[in-house]
Amino acid sequence: MSRVDDRLREVLGIGVTFAYGVVTGEVPAERWVEAVRAARDDELLDGVFFDLLTVVDQHPRGFDVVVRMWSVRQRHGFLLRTACAREDPRVPSLIGVFAGAAWHERQAAEMFGVTFDGHDDPAPLLLSGGARHPLRKDNRLERRDVPWPGAVDPAHSGSGRRPPRRPLRPPGGWP
């Protein structure tokens, strides 16, 4: 895997780590789009397959935006990662490099509150109403006033009557 490590350092001029069998390049936010495009277009890296874009909450430090790219022809993958501040989390959008990044960026914006500058449709995908970001570590869960349906067994609901139940018999016993 050192060939991919060395090539990322050479092409992108960034710090590269190799841990748990994964090559990861650390990219400054201002070079984010340029680095992803260079990794895609480089003949030896050949990162033409966009696999995933996600966010990791590094509370309280901020957020890491991670993209995984894969070379189908050379059968290797690598990660590129950039960091953004917690107070105003924003990075440039990758939809100009990979059109498939649009859905991933919308999902990351909705779940973590990261803004992708230049994204043409930042509408929410999964949640309705409100700007809560449920996957942030500082997000407080709402208090549930009504017990979850099915959480209380009707036999123990306090009504005093037990629901009809069939008696349990051992297997192979008399009916």
For 102-137, the pLDDT digits (tens) are 999 999 999 999 999 999 888 888 887 766 788 998
Closest to 97 (Cα-Cα) out of 118, 124, 79, 112: 118
Distances (CA, A) of 15 to 28, 71, 166: 10, 20, 67
CATH number of the CATH domain containing 34 = 3.30.460.80
Confidence at 157, pLDDT banded by 50, 70, 90: low
54 within some domain? yes
Q: Is 88 helix (H, G, I), strand (E, B) or coil?
A: coil
31 within some domain? yes
Average pLDDT, the chain: 85
Residue in the block written with tokens 């192979």:
172
Confidence at 139, pLDDT banded by 50, 70, 90: confident
Residue 66 above 80 pLDDT? yes
DSSP tag of 172: T
152 within some domain? no
173 within some domain? no
Based on the structure, what is the number of domains in the chain? Answer: 1
128 within some domain? no
Q: What is the pTM of this model?
A: 0.77
175 within some domain? no
Outline where DSSP puts E strands in the chain: 15-19, 22-26, 49-58, 62-71, 76-84, 90-92, 115-117
CB 65 within 8 A of CB 85: no
Identify the domain containing residue 75 by its residue range. Answer: 2-120
135 within some domain? no
**Gap between the Cα atoms of 154 and 144, Å rounded:** 20
Contacts of 44 (CB under 8 A, 6+ apart): 3, 7, 11, 74
Residue 30 above 80 pLDDT? yes
Within 10 Å of residue 58's Cβ, how many Cβ atoms? 13
